[in-house]
Chain A
Amino acid sequence: MSGTRFVNERMVGTSVLPNEAIPLVEGEGRFLNDISMAGMYHVAFLRSQHAHARLLKVDVSEARALPGVIHVLTGADLLGQVEPFKSMPNRFSGGQSTQHWLAVEKVRFCGEAICAVVAESRALAEDAIERIEVDYDPLPVVTNARAGERDGSPLVHDTCPNNYLIKREYQNGDVDGAFAAAHLVVKRRFQLGRKQAMCMEGRGCVAAWRDGSFKLSMWMSHQLPYVVRHYLARHLGLGETDIRVVAPQTGGGFGQKASIYPEEFVCAYLALQLRRPVKWVEDRLENMVASTHAREHDIEVELAFDAEGRILALQSDIWTDVGAYSTYLWSAGMEPLQTGGLMPGPYQVKALRYVTRGVATNKTPVGPYRAVGRPSASAALELLLDQAAAQLGIDPVEIRRRNIIPQSQMPFRNANNLVHDNVGYLPCLDMAVSKSGYRALRAEQREMLAKGKLRGIGIVCFAELTGLGTSTAVGPGTLLQPGRDAVTLRIETTGTLTLAAALPSQGQRIATAMRQVAADELGMRIDDIACLTNDTGMAPYGFGTFASRTAVFGSGAVIQAAGELRRRILDVAAHLMQVPAEELMLVDSVVETIDRTKSLPLRQLAERSFFSAKDIPSEINKGFEVTAFYDPKHGSFAAGAHVVVVDVDEETGGVEIVRYVAAEDVGRLINPAVVEGQIIGGIAQGVGEALLEQLVYDENGQPRTVTLADYLVPSALEVPHVELHHANTPSGALGGFKGCGEGSIIGALAGISCAVADALRQRGGDIFQFPATPERVLRGLGVALDEAV
């Protein structure tokens, strides 16, 4: 096209109602558990009751004899038949772990699968599990990262000295010099508990033998269908073309459904062996122990400042309890590396050092979860900034303003080697300060204190790297570096458009967003566009939905494919309408001349191009199907600043969030209502992380939080009303988009943590362990709780 883009800019930026939600409104969403097939068997797993033990005997004879039981599979049955999960090598130091799909010889965490029972119903399979006899020989356990790295600690894997699954030391700049010359050095410890994504729908799969040309079809509640297909092929010894993976309607993901787990692979194996469809649906008790956990950081962080409160250097020591195995696909490096590497966030750091460790323990493996590493990194740093501000006698807002990366200095390469560009940290901070009435909040806080009421204010800034392309690693140090995704655009014979991509949705309304972008880029009515995002049998190659990447990758690929498709459409139209292509435009699914005197509906054009192809020279009629890949290279920083106000009950230690103001830069908005749902949803999970959610283990490695009555997910009462403001700066990616799925949880943990600490500071107290349980708050206030009465 001659430099002119005929684009109707109408859909992007509009809260288009998501027709993909209509089945959900009517109770007709087809989730994994809603899929049934003739002759389908049901699978249940026997799981380890011990955190660390040798398996002396696994006797399945009684279970096998139970009526209705088809098969019982043990780890021994799989030996030599399938390739176990050997963790991804990492270019930093640390050992490797091997995870058998069903435990062989040893179990390493409570909940590890030992046997799979196949039966005519799930209830019968569970009956059979109770009849399996296992003799365990308990081994000493590792339940804490710091203890686990000590010489002489029991080992989770003989291949991992000091239980390191990863250890990395990083330095950039003269850190020692900066600390020696500093006007002020501040230091603190920050601990965050173990939590998990707690999708409302657990994992699960239906694995079917022979489905059309495929030997194996997998319906699987998962974020990365193509990646699953690759690994199924590799581990089962099949070709990728033998396998189809479909992610049906999925009830939340948040990273927990982005890893490769044994259970689904066992089901695939069973389907191939039994030549029957098998279904496994993870129940909540399983989900609490068998799906990846997240976080569990212990951080010591130190900052050196000059007399003006500018950061000279940052150093941190990080321990992450990564659980019993290096999570397959992502490795155990996710949390430790991102916590260390991304700690500088939106602040200029001249010298950086960190030592970070992923220590194996006898607990459920830790895997990716919303904003991996950053919430803890940010909270540790933001709490320390407040501590420094207090010592320097400057306001928390001011110390942030002095250190934030200004747009005038962008592109800005920070000490962690990340380049910040097209991101408005300061505009977010300014907006949060003004919209919250920050000064008035401080005055109110003082008035309340005078009345004996404890209020705290947190103001925090964060950076969130989104839409990572080939030049920036999702998991630094791992071999897996996804960076390109494709979209196929195809005009159907009726002139409607099918948009296909391997970017499944777990509720993010990806289809709607992609349709909006395509409508604008092509000049089509959005109702004429359908979107398929979940099926390797239909979509072009893509890595899937994770790491706040989908809007960026999908939109970029749509924009690239749409350019070529529009060119082909207009070339055909030019021939049919006898008008030069330069004088044509596509508006609302109709090709029109620029002067609007002639038009040809896309429907007619498509019909003629397919059914009357003889009328159009084939060098013009190239086919209305275009696939384009997009690689956003460095990715785009999104940003935010949150102001959180909490009231602390000094008698009970209860914390109530009384105000929440968020200012966010998530680039150009595709669907504002969807974006707001992502941001507020992230904040809600941050409320849980900061105040409620923690997976607790005892000293024997037994999980103590095993139900949703023990593990506290925030309800509508704990999540505050969020006042959300946009301070968006378009990114450098195609279309100016950024990811928005993760950032807000960073601000929420940091903001709430800072608000609680700010409240306690007024009484000379502080808090170092999160979530901020009532007991920790009271201890932070110095209330003596241990004295006998």
Chain B
Amino acid sequence: MPEQLSITLTVNGRTHTKDVAARTSLADFLRDQLHLTGTHLGCEHGVCGACTVTVDGRTVRSCLMLAVQADGREVTTIEGLKDPQGAWHPVQKAFFEHFAIQCGFCTPGFFATAIELLGSHPDPTEAQIREYLSGNICRCSGYQAIVEAVQAAAAALREQATQGHAPRERALHDHERG
């Protein structure tokens, strides 16, 4: 077996110390060693965007980053988007309610990218949304529902901001209906 390196990193708020082979990508590490299979590999050469996760507040292609490079970093994946009460992030909620998910394979990457966009552009135009998301490929939806969902999520986040705190509206079981 090749040499194993020990790394310590925080993923979705939880700290892990693991031995990892140097050649293991962050994506494979998250999926195979932390069993966080919500991060999907669509091309493994950085084009499709499905594997996009957030590292220290910035989106990265987890297929192009080694797990060892995440040593000491904070990683957020799709599994870590809910708030502590278990309510969905407004981006998750908006994608669901706007039918912006079809096969769902690209969805994790879109979430990460959309959340980064809304962090710097609270009220993006349609053109800004399309440009920011243009590095994430969706083969099913034609993007229209995704654009609408990001607009709706932006509005929800702005409303939260004006209310001064972040009450993730309605509990999860609301979504379980219908």
Whether A and B touch (Cβ < 8 Å) is answered with yes
Q: Which 9 A-B pairs have the closest CB atoms?
A: A27-B38, A24-B104, A251-B105, A507-B103, A27-B78, A507-B102, A684-B142, A680-B142, A708-B47
Closest partner residue, chain B, to A718 (CB atom): B134
Interface string of A19-42 (1 = CB under 8 A from B): 101101111111101100000000
The residues in B between 109 and 155 inclusive whose CB is less than 8 angstroms from any CB of A are 126, 129-131, 133-147
Q: Which residues in B have their C-beta under 8 angstroms from that of A415?
A: none
* Candidates B1, B139, B142; contact of A199 at CB < 8 Å: B139
The residues in B between 37 and 59 inclusive whose CB is less than 8 angstroms from any CB of A are 37-45, 47-48, 50
B19 to chain A, nearest CB (A): 14
Given contacts A27-B79, A284-B43, A716-B133, 10 further A-B contacts (CB under 8 A): A16-B178, A22-B176, A25-B92, A251-B40, A252-B140, A283-B44, A284-B48, A509-B99, A677-B145, A681-B140
Q: Which residues in B have their C-beta under 8 angstroms from that of A19?
A: 175-178
Are A26 and B92 in touch, CB under 8 angstroms? yes
Are A200 and B50 in touch, CB under 8 angstroms? yes
Q: In the complex, A361 Cα to B101 Cα: how many Å?
A: 38
Q: Which residues in A have their C-beta under 8 angstroms from that of B62?
A: none
* Candidates B79, B108, B134; contact of A716 at CB < 8 Å: B134
Q: In the complex, A717 Cα to B81 Cα: how many Å?
A: 26
Are B142 and A719 in touch, CB under 8 angstroms? yes
The residues in A between 652 and 688 inclusive whose CB is less than 8 angstroms from any CB of B are 673-674, 676-677, 680-685
Q: In the complex, A199 Cα to B31 Cα: how many Å?
A: 20
Query: Can you report 30 residue pairs joining A to B where beta carbons are below 8 Å apart?
Result: A21-B101, A22-B176, A24-B107, A27-B36, A27-B78, A31-B105, A33-B31, A123-B24, A197-B139, A200-B40, A200-B105, A201-B40, A201-B103, A251-B42, A252-B103, A252-B139, A252-B140, A284-B45, A507-B104, A507-B140, A673-B145, A677-B145, A685-B139, A707-B47, A708-B47, A713-B137, A715-B137, A716-B133, A716-B134, A716-B147
- Check B29 for interface membership: any CB of A closer than 8 A: no
A721 to chain B, nearest CB (A): 6
Q: In the complex, A516 Cα to B103 Cα: how many Å?
A: 19
Q: In the complex, A104 Cα to B144 Cα: how many Å?
A: 47
Summed over the interface, the residue pairs from A and B with CB atoms below 8 Å come to a total of 182
- Check A259 for interface membership: any CB of B closer than 8 A: no
A30 to chain B, nearest CB (A): 8
Are B48 and A708 in touch, CB under 8 angstroms? yes
Known interface pairs A284-B42, A719-B142. Does A200 touch B101 (Cβ–Cβ under 8 Å)?
no
Are B45 and A708 in touch, CB under 8 angstroms? yes
- Check B169 for interface membership: any CB of A closer than 8 A: no
Closest partner residue, chain B, to A713 (CB atom): B137
- Check A186 for interface membership: any CB of B closer than 8 A: no
Q: In the complex, A708 Cα to B23 Cα: how many Å?
A: 22
- Check B159 for interface membership: any CB of A closer than 8 A: no
Are A708 and B37 in touch, CB under 8 angstroms? no
Central interface residue in A21, A717, A721, A722, by most chain B CB within 10 Å? A21
- Check A153 for interface membership: any CB of B closer than 8 A: no
Q: How many A residues, CB 8 Å from partner?
A: 58
Are A17 and B96 in touch, CB under 8 angstroms? yes
- Check A700 for interface membership: any CB of B closer than 8 A: no
Are A722 and B131 in touch, CB under 8 angstroms? no
Are B99 and A200 in touch, CB under 8 angstroms? no
B99 to chain A, nearest CB (A): 4
Q: In the complex, A24 Cα to B105 Cα: how many Å?
A: 8
B54 to chain A, nearest CB (A): 13
Q: In the complex, A25 Cα to B133 Cα: how many Å?
A: 18
- Check A621 for interface membership: any CB of B closer than 8 A: no
Query: Interface of A with B (CB < 8 Å)?
Result: 15-19, 21-22, 24-31, 33-34, 67-68, 123, 197-201, 249-252, 254, 283-284, 506-509, 526-527, 673-674, 676-677, 680-685, 707-709, 713, 715-717, 719, 721-722
Q: Which residues in A have their C-beta under 8 angstroms from that of B83?
A: none
Closest partner residue, chain B, to A674 (CB atom): B99
Closest partner residue, chain A, to B88 (CB atom): A25
Query: Interface of B with A (CB < 8 Å)?
Result: 1, 21, 23-24, 31, 36-45, 47-48, 50, 77-79, 81-82, 88, 92, 95-99, 101-108, 126, 129-131, 133-147, 175-178
Q: In the complex, A284 Cα to B139 Cα: how many Å?
A: 14
Q: Which residues in B have their C-beta under 8 angstroms from that of A21?
A: 96, 101, 104
Q: Which residues in A have their C-beta under 8 angstroms from that of B39?
A: 27
Q: In the complex, A15 Cα to B131 Cα: how many Å?
A: 29
A270 to chain B, nearest CB (A): 21
B51 to chain A, nearest CB (A): 11
Q: Which residues in B have their C-beta under 8 angstroms from that of A715?
A: 130, 133-137, 143
Are B134 and A717 in touch, CB under 8 angstroms? yes
Are B141 and A681 in touch, CB under 8 angstroms? yes
Known interface pairs A16-B178, A17-B96, A25-B101. Does A200 touch B88 (Cβ–Cβ under 8 Å)?
no
Q: In the complex, A19 Cα to B81 Cα: how many Å?
A: 19
B73 to chain A, nearest CB (A): 19
* Candidates B97, B108, B130; contact of A27 at CB < 8 Å: B108
Are B143 and A684 in touch, CB under 8 angstroms? yes
B104 to chain A, nearest CB (A): 3
Q: In the complex, A31 Cα to B140 Cα: how many Å?
A: 16
Are A198 and B178 in touch, CB under 8 angstroms? no
Are B96 and A31 in touch, CB under 8 angstroms? no
Are A717 and B131 in touch, CB under 8 angstroms? yes
Are A123 and B23 in touch, CB under 8 angstroms? yes
